[in-house]
Amino acid sequence: MGKQSKLNSTQQKYQELVQATNPKPEVAKNAWRAFVSGGIVCVIGQALNDFYATVMHLSPEEAGNPAVATVIFIGALLTGLGYFDKLAVYAGAGLAVPVTGFANSMVSAALEFKKEGLVQGIGSKMFMLAGSVITYGVVTAFFVGLIHAIFQ
């Protein structure tokens, strides 16, 4: 609100017009779509987990690794083929928050900078968004593990 007080009267009228004409987000509808689509991603992940546990004779815990890798691969493949963004417009956070969103962030950046070459483009820019997720994930995991070790 501090910025709006510095606006002149024409700018304030324009801001009011923009706010009045902007469509209001359909929160309940978007939340429902995210819930359902996130649930579908989870069902697919569980089906893959069960598949790997059965076919590869792994425990359910051990089958989680190839299942997650497969979900990441599917997200990356859908991004590369141009379908992920179309699905994400409908599904919202239900598709963007799980590991599929991580795969999408990496592949999108790689595709965006592929013209700059394998090293300077794809290799260095691929982790542009994912790098911060990995960094904070590792740091958080370290501190949670440390706290767990101290209080156990």
Q: What is the pLDDT of residues 39-90, one digit of tens each?
A: 999 999 999 999 999 999 999 999 999 999 999 999 989 988 999 989 988 8
Domain membership of residue 85 (yes or no) is yes
Domain membership of residue 94 (yes or no) is yes
20 pLDDT exceeds 90?
A: no
Domain membership of residue 12 (yes or no) is no
Measure the N-to-C terminal CA separation of the chain; round to a whole number of Å. 47
Domain membership of residue 70 (yes or no) is yes
Total count of domains within the chain: 1
Q: What does pTM read for this prediction? A: 0.67
Domain membership of residue 7 (yes or no) is no
Local structure of 56: helix, strand or coil: coil
Q: 144 or 96: which carries more pLDDT confidence? A: 144
Domain membership of residue 17 (yes or no) is no
| CA separation, residue 104 to residues 29, 56, 112, 142 (Å) | 23, 28, 12, 25
Domain membership of residue 145 (yes or no) is yes
For residue 75, the enclosing domain spans 26-151
Neighbours of 135 (CB within 10 A): 11
Structure tokens at 49: 């987990």
Domain membership of residue 42 (yes or no) is yes
- Say which amino acid occupies 56: M
